[in-house]
């Protein structure tokens, strides 16, 4: 009995040591990738973006919901970006205030079981200008809050694997893709987890495929890896602006200037962001993948600043 217990203790210790070393190695790789991204962003060409990401100083600006698998918050930790972690959808729905929030991040978790009140709150947040990031199994959050844009394909990925990715030719210059693809980065790979949800595009005129994989297309009949779309809430427009969206019969319609920006933006990825660092050994590959979430937060912060400036401008006009 003593020998058996001693053997089990030794095995447990070895497992613990292995996990500890793996975690330290992973953290070191994340930190190195983060430093590489920040180094690129500190150049003159991206000076504004670098300043913007450093302006995120309050944790309530970014809300993170933990998932069963993905851990985007660990990527944020590597960048030393503050965030507020909310334990579960119920707490988010009942207690979390979003007045000063520019982005909500929902890690891979079964979004189909989230309460409707949570979905309604997310919908309103995006319609009011917020940015929403979801990964993998959180896809139902999007399909429930914004039906008709994208949906889950009939297939899921069959195993853990890596696939070569490319920018979609129509959207290669999208702000979310800054410094991801370019010289020396033509063979980037994306780590797929088994049973990742493949995505079907239902509104091709409004949904932008940012990153795609022809390997994914061949294996699962679904090429999208990262997609985005904007949400405009017509209820937020003035009566005259709303009329602009309808056919005008008058010979002298009132000219309505379009809104300077959409109300909110959604970004969804297939599989997990955090796992890109765990399963990719190429540092350039890891830093490129992490650049995606940083670019997303830069644009979210810029949008929040613009909305705040508009509010102050409107208050001055009323006075």
- C-beta separation of 127 from 264 below 8 A: yes
Please state, rounded to an integer, the average pLDDT across all residues of the chain: 83
For 84, the 3-state DSSP assignment is strand
User: What does the pLDDT read at residue 318?
Assistant: 66
pTM listed for this prediction: 0.83
**Per-residue pLDDT tens over the stretch 245-261:** 344 444 444 444 445 45
pLDDT: is 212 or 316 the higher one? 212
* 8-state DSSP, 257: P
> Is the pLDDT at 15 greater than 70, yes or no?
no
**Per-residue pLDDT tens over the stretch 274-313:** 878 766 666 677 888 899 999 999 999 999 999 888 877 7
* Topology of the domain comprising 2-232+263-318: Rossmann fold (3.40.50)
User: What does the pLDDT read at residue 85?
Assistant: 96
Task: Give 221's contacts (C-beta < 8 A, 6+ positions apart).
Answer: 153, 155, 198
User: What does the pLDDT read at residue 202?
Assistant: 97
What is the C-alpha to C-alpha distance for residues 276 and 278, in angstroms, rounded to an integer? 6
- C-beta separation of 153 from 200 below 8 A: yes
**Per-residue pLDDT tens over the stretch 204-215:** 999 999 999 999
- pLDDT-based confidence at residue 262 (cuts at 50, 70, 90): low
User: What does the pLDDT read at residue 94?
Assistant: 95
Q: What are the residue boundaries of the structural domains of the chain, listed by start?
A: 2-232+263-318
User: What does the pLDDT read at residue 16?
Assistant: 42
């Amino acid at each position: 009995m003593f020998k058996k217990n001693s053997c089990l203790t030794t095995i447990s210790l070895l497992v613990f040591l292995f996990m500890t070393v793996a975690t330290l190695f992973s953290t070191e790789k994340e930190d190195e990738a983060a430093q590489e991204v920040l180094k690129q962003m500190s150049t003159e060409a991206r000076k504004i973006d670098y300043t913007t990401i450093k302006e995120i100083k309050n944790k309530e600006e970014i809300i993170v919901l933990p998932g069963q698998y993905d851990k985007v918050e660990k990527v944020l930790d590597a960048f030393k970006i503050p965030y507020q972690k909310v334990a579960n959808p119920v707490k988010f729905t009942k207690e979390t205030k979003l007045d000063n929030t520019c982005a909500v991040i929902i890690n891979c978790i079964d979004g189909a079981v989230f309460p409707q009140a949570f979905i309604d709150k997310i919908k309103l947040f995006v319609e009011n200008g917020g940015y929403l990031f979801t990964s993998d199994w959180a896809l139902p959050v999007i399909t429930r809050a914004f039906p008709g844009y994208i949906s889950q394909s009939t297939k899921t990925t069959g195993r853990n694997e890596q696939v070569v990715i490319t920018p979609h030719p129509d959207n290669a210059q999208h702000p979310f893709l800054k410094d991801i693809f370019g010289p020396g980065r033509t063979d980037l790979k994306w780590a797929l987890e088994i049973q990742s949800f493949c995505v079907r595009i239902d509104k091709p005129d409004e949904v932008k495929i940012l990153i795609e994989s022809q390997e994914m297309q061949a294996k699962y009949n679904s090429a999208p890896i990262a997609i985005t779309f904007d949400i405009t809430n017509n209820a937020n427009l003035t009566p005259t602006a709303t009329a602009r969206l309808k056919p005008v019969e008058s010979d002298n319609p009132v000219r309505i200037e379009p809104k300077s920006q959409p109300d909110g933006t959604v970004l969804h990825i297939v599989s997990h962001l955090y796992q890109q660092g765990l399963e990719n050994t190429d540092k350039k590959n890891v830093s490129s993948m992490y650049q995606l979430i940083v670019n997303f937060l830069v644009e979210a912060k810029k949008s929040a600043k613009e909305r705040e400036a508009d509010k102050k401008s409107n208050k001055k006009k009323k006075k």
